Structure formats: C-alpha cells, structure tokens
Amino acid sequence: MEVFLVTLLNGLVYGMLLFMLASGLTLIFSMMGVLNFAHASIYMIGAYLAYELSRHLDFWAALVIAPILCGLIGAAIEMYGLRKVHRNGHLAELLFTFGLAFIIEKAVQMIWGLVAVPYRVPSALDFSLFTIYGTTFPAYRAFMLLISALMFVAIWLLLTRTRIGLIIQAALVHPDMVGALGHNVPRVFTIVFAGGSALAGLAGVIGGNYLVTEPAMAFTMGPIVFVVVVFGGLGSLEGCFIASLIIGLVQTFAVVLDVSLADLLARLGIVVTATTPFAEILTVRLPRVGALLPFVLLVLILLFKPRGLLGTRDT
C-alpha cells in the first residue's frame, strides 16, 4: 500500500511535468501542423535561464522572468523563422526546428559548458512536507504539482472564457475556416507559439532543479514529449493531460512492479525455463525495460487508434 501511494505521488509529479511540456507542443502542433523539435530545447533554455537568474536574483524572480523570456524567444522564432519557412511546407518547417534544436544545444554547450550546472531547489522549498509510511515527500514536489495544476486551470480558463481563447480553440480544429472568417490567423499563431514556448520555459524552471540541468536534457525529454502528444491526440488539451498522466504513471510504476512476462505465463500454468524459446525475453523484469514502455504505448496507439486518445482531427 505504501509503495502504491508513494509511487502514485511520484508518478503524478512526473506526469504533470510532462504535461507542462507537452501542452505547449500540442497547441503548436494542433494549430500549425508544425512538429516543433525545438520545443524541448526551449525547455532547456528555460532551465538554464532560471539557473542564471536564481544565481543573480532569486528563484522566485526566475519563476516569473524565465518563462516570459522563453515566450519572447518563441515569438521571435515564429515571426522571423517559421513564418518564412512556412511557405515551403510542413517538411521544411520540421527540418528548420530540427536544425534549431541542434544549434540551441551547441549554443548552450558553448555558453555554460559541457558539464551539468548546479541548478538547485531553493532553500525555502527544500524541506519535507510530510512523511508517508516512513518515506518523506519533499515540499518541492508539492510545489511542482501546485504550479502545474494552476497552469492547467489558467490555460483552460484562457481557452474557454476569453475571446482569444475561443479563436485559438477554433483554429485548433478548423484553421482555414478561422482565417476565412477574417481573424488575424498569423498573429494567433505567433501568440500560440509564444505561449507554448513560455509553458516549456516554465517547465524548465521547475523541472531543471528537480532533474538535472545539462546540455543533453532537451534530447532526453524530447522523445517522451512527442509520445505524449501523439498518444493524447491532436487538437485536444484534455487528451494531452490524460496522456501525460498515463505515461508519467506507467514509467514510474514500471520501476516498482517487479514482474516479467514469465510471471504472467506462470499464472496461466505455463512454466518458462532456461530452454524455452524466447526465454530471455520472457524473463526480463519490467523495471529493466521501463524506459521503453512509452514508446511501446506509442506504437500501440498508432496501430489501434492513430488519432490518439481524444484526438479530434488528423494533421
């Protein structure tokens, strides 16, 4: 029971961090059809900016300033980069963001070095909030849950209660129609791209000191975020939320569920010994392949429900 509860909490924290990253990407992907490879790079920039800002100012200043800076960077990328590349089609946009991801990685390596930087949890939040069955739950994780929950509520309110939100919602599903109705779709695109980048930056601020802030963090988080977006489905923020939680929980529970396919077969009465065909695959324990599971889920969803869990349209 204790293992279940602790793992549930940890899985939720990780899932909400994924959601913060993936929500921006879902919005951008759904609206503009651009698979933004540089999204995780902006997450990385957010973490590094937060490190610098918390060194010269403090963490709370970083929490506000870094996402704003990332939003501005995102707006710049969209206005001066993507908009020009857009006329050459989706593939060109994809390659542009792919190249951008590499450039950002190298720039980060040149500015901050190849080694991880000591971006730490602020001392104000570095205590244990409560003890559950003898394991302490750090306050910073509760803070992460709080910020991501607030962020989810804020996005939901923005999308459903404001005019710009309604336009964005419409453009999510029927971008051409929205343009035909006379709305300034390019400006909406820029706003969405900037907003998505700001979200990624915020994820970097609170995730960078929870995980490790190093130049490889973009390429480590990037693939999982894509899995979440595809799994959740295009055009659906709720799908993205559910997918992030599912994948966060799956990856976390996979570590504590010490079972293998052989155990499952044993329940059905089939005994796997060393000489059984595929014995090596059948006896692999789940924790050892835990990192693979999101990608297995990706393959499964593409096979059985290509639109994703709650996807409303294809690209």
Which residues here bind another protein, judged by CB under 8 A? 2-3, 6-7, 10, 14, 109, 114-116, 118, 128, 131, 134-136, 138, 210-212, 214-216, 220, 252-253, 255-256, 258, 287-288, 291
Smallest gap from Cβ 262 to another protein, in A, equals 16
Shortest Å, Cβ 14 to another protein: 7
Q: 212 vs 282, which CB is nearer to another protein?
A: 212
Residue 85 CB-half CA count within 13 A? 21
273 contacts 62 by C-beta, under 8 angstroms? no
User: Which secondary-structure segment (H or E) carries 28?
Assistant: helix 2-32
Candidates 5, 18, 38; CA nearest to 219 is 38
Which residue type occupies 281? I
Contact indicator for 205, 66 with CB cutoff of 8 Å: yes
> Which CB, 255 or 265, lies closer to another protein?
255
Closer to another protein by CB, 97 or 251: give it.
Answer: 251
- Contact, 205 vs 52, CB < 8 A? no
β-sheet bridge partners, residue 117: 213
CA distance 276 to 48: 51
Report the residue number, 176 or 280, with the smaller CB distance to another protein.
280
Report in angstroms how near the CB of residue 292 gets to another protein at its nearest.
9
CA 200, CA 194: separation in Å to the nearest integer? 10
Least separation in angstroms between CB 11 and another protein: 8
Q: Residue 171, exposed/middle/buried by CB under 10 A (0-12, 13-18, 19+)?
A: buried
159: which strand partners?
none
Q: Quick one: 40 or 82, whose CB is closer to another protein? A: 40
Smallest distance from another protein to CB 102, Å? 13
Place of tokens 């003898």: 134
Nearer to another protein, 136 or 315 (CB): 136
Q: Annotate 68-99 with b (16+ C-beta within 10 A) or e (fewer).
A: ebbbebbbebbbeebeebbeeeeeebbebbee
Find the shortest distance in angstroms from Cβ 107 to another protein.
14
Nearer to another protein, 84 or 106 (CB): 106
